[in-house]
Each structure stands twice: as C-alpha cells, then as structure tokens.
C-alpha cells in the first residue's frame, strides 16, 4: 500500500499526504522549504496569511491527540481556513454510523480537507480513495503504519539544527520501533533525504523482523547504538499497542534503554536529542536529558505548525487547480 498514485497528480504535485513512501526527495525538500517560509509567519505578531481563506478543514480524530490536533488546528487558522474539530469517539461512531457515512455527511457540508487520525492502519488511504476529487486528505497518524507530518517536522528540526546535508549525519531512532508509526515514517524520510547512516536501537522484542530491509542498522544495546551519533530520536513505549509480555517491566526497560546524561556522552559532543512526545519521563529518558541542553523537543512542537501549514497549503494549491480545470 504505497499510496503513490493517490498522493501525487500526474505532474508530481501533492494531492493528499498519506505516507512518506511513494514521495520523492524533491517533494520532501519542497515541503521543508515551504515550511521554512512559514516559520517566519508563526513567529510574527500578526500570525495569519490568507492562503486558505474560505476553505473548510475538518480535523477528524478517531484517536486521542493533543500536540498533533492542536498544531494542525493552529496551522489551518494561520492559513485563514475555517476549522472544525470532530472527535469521533464521542460522536457518530458510537451511534453505529459507518466511516463512509460520516464522510459523506461532512462532504455534504462542503469540506475541502480532512485531517485524519485513526487507530487502524490504512484509514487515511481509505478515506482518500472515497472523497470527492477536489477534497484533500492528510494523514495525522494511522495505526502502526505512518505519521508523515511528524516525520517531516522532525526532518525540518534536524535540518535547522544540523544544516541541509543529511549525508554527513548518523541518526539513531531508539525505543519501541515495532509499534511506532513515527519510526516507520522517519526511516523513509531519512533515507529519501540520503542520511549517512540510520540506526534503530531497541530490545529484540520491540524490533520489527527484517528491519534491515528498510535501510537501517539494528542495535540491541543503547550505548553501542547511539555511539558517535549526531541525532538521537527517542520514542515512547506504546503500551496501548503491546499484546502479551514484550517487556519485563518499565523499570527494567529504563535500566537497559533509558537515556541518561551519562549514556548520552558516548554520542557526538554536539548531539541533538529529539522525541515526538508524549514523553514517559523515567521510562525512555531521564528528565535531565529531556530538559537538557541537547534537547530540541519543544522546538519540534513549534516546527509542527510551519510544517503542517506547508503540507496543507501545497495539497490545497493542487486541489484548486483540479477545481479550475473542472470549471
Ligand atoms: C506520536 C503518535 O501519536 O503517533 N505522537 C505524536 O503524534 N506527537 C507518538 C506517540 O504516541 O508516542
């Protein structure tokens, strides 16, 4: 399920943003460059640009979220769109309405874009296949599959801190790789941007089988895995997605894989530490690292707004062309 044809039009322009797979380096760079131009807007006193004035964007969240939903909402508002937030858990799904019915009803209200988060892998692709041709779909996280805007805000953060040449970087992604949609999207994005070396560091039980086929080097020891790294990305233990006893205990996990200042000292002296949030302090990392001088965790949140503005405006630009062509 690459979504390649769904995501881009025949001229290679972004139509939906569903996964990093199926995109090319040029598009990723365009997203990063566009986000760079918006980063200034979000820092200004008057924070709005009129690019999406008159457009209606629905945040359709079937799964809880704070950071992702609020930064999508802020991004849409800064582009001057009207935004509706629909928490489907508390809405029609509980009354037995199907996903398709919910969609048709929202479309009848002339929605231009859906931002979708869902616990099932493939939900955003399903919606993209079923919307009217002028409607765009952005994946805000589907099951274990993909979280492409998170990966792009992480790439944006890395580029801002380390510069544009990913080829000289050694990046380690540490933690629950097996259940992480963020890890999957980051791996694809890092590889498309030609990152020098991408490592995944996790206990064997939390490492997907044949992970090397994704173009990464697996490690099962934290210090070996982060040694000489330029960037260390920590991930949350996804307890809600674990079935059975994959881990002895959180305490044991922290003893072996928790990032402390002492352990971090084996990485490059100017190492950058990242985490998509929410952080389990004292489980995957120590507070002194999370709040320390190498951490850019809060910058990641800020960058989420500019990156989401970029993706939304690029997809909508393409859809406006679709409307003009049909007129
Ligand atoms: C991530 C998610 O929801 O996939 N968080 C986020 O979007 N900020 C990672 C996580 O839940 O651990």
d(CA 326, CA 101) in angstroms, rounded, equals 26
DSSP state, 265? T
Q: Which atom of ligand 1 is nearest to the CA of 277?
A: 8
Quick check: do 4-146+302-326 and 148-295 share a fold? yes
DSSP state, 260? -
Please indicate whether residue 276, judged by its CB atom, sits closer than 6 Å to ligand 1.
yes
CATH of domain 4-146+302-326: 3.40.50.1370
What pLDDT, in 10s, does the model give residues 93-135? 666 677 888 889 899 999 999 999 999 999 999 999 999 999 9
Please indicate whether residue 147, judged by its CB atom, sits closer than 6 Å to ligand 1.
yes
Predicted local confidence at residue 95, as pLDDT: 64
CATH of domain 148-295: 3.40.50.1370
Cβ atoms of residues 41 and 47 within 8 Å: yes
Q: Which atom of ligand 1 is nearest to the CA of 117?
A: 3
Q: Which of 324, 322, 318 is nearest to 52 (CA)?
A: 318
70-82 mean pLDDT: 96
Give the global pTM: 0.94
Pocket test for ligand 1, best of 71, 182, 284 (most atoms within 8 A of CB): 182
Please indicate whether residue 277, judged by its CB atom, sits closer than 6 Å to ligand 1.
yes
d(CA 321, CA 43) in angstroms, rounded, equals 30
What pLDDT, in 10s, does the model give residues 275-309? 999 999 999 999 999 999 999 999 999 999 999 99
Domain boundaries, the chain: 4-146+302-326, 148-295
Cis peptide before 278 (omega within 30 of 0): yes
Q: Which residues pair with 79 in a beta bridge?
A: none
Q: Which residues pair with 114 in a beta bridge?
A: 58, 137
Please indicate whether residue 125, judged by its CB atom, sits closer than 6 Å to ligand 1.
no
State the Cα angle at 89 between 87 and 92, rounded to 5°: 90
């Amino acid at each position: 399920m690459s979504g390649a044809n769904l995501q881009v039009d025949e001229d290679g322009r972004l139509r939906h943003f569903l996964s990093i797979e199926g995109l090319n380096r040029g598009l990723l760079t365009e997203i990063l460059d566009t986000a760079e131009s918006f980063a200034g807007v979000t820092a200004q006193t008057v924070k709005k640009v009129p690019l999406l004035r008159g457009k209606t964007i629905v945040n359709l969240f079937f799964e809880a979220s704070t950071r992702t939903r609020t930064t999508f909402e802020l991004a849409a508002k800064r582009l001057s769109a009207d935004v509706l937030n629909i928490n489907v858990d508390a809405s029609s799904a509980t009354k037995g309405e199907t996903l398709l019915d919910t969609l048709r009803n929202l479309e009848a209200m002339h929605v231009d874009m859906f931002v979708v988060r869902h616990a099932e892998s493939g939900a955003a692709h399903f919606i993209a296949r079923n919307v009217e041709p002028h409607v765009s779909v952005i994946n805000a996280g589907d099951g274990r599959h993909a979280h492409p805007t998170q990966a792009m805000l992480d790439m944006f953060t890395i580029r801002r801190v380390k510069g544009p040449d990913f080829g000289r970087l050694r990046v380690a992604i540490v933690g629950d790789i097996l259940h992480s949609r963020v890890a999957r999207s980051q791996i694809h994005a890092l590889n498309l941007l030609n990152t020098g070396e991408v490592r995944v560091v996790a206990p064997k039980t939390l490492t997907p089988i044949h992970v090397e086929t994704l173009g990464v080097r697996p490690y099962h020891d934290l210090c070996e895995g982060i040694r000489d790294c330029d960037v260390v990305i920590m991930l949350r233990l996804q307890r809600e997605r674990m079935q059975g006893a994959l881990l002895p205990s959180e305490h044991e996990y922290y003893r072996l894989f928790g990032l402390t200042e002492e352990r971090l000292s084996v990485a490059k002296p100017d190492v950058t530490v990242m985490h998509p949030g929410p952080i389990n302090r004292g489980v995957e990392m120590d507070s002194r690292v999370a709040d320390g001088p190498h951490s850019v965790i809060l910058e990641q949140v800020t960058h989420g707004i500019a990156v989401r503005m970029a993706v939304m405006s690029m997809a909508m630009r393409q859809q406006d062309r679709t409307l003009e062509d049909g007129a």
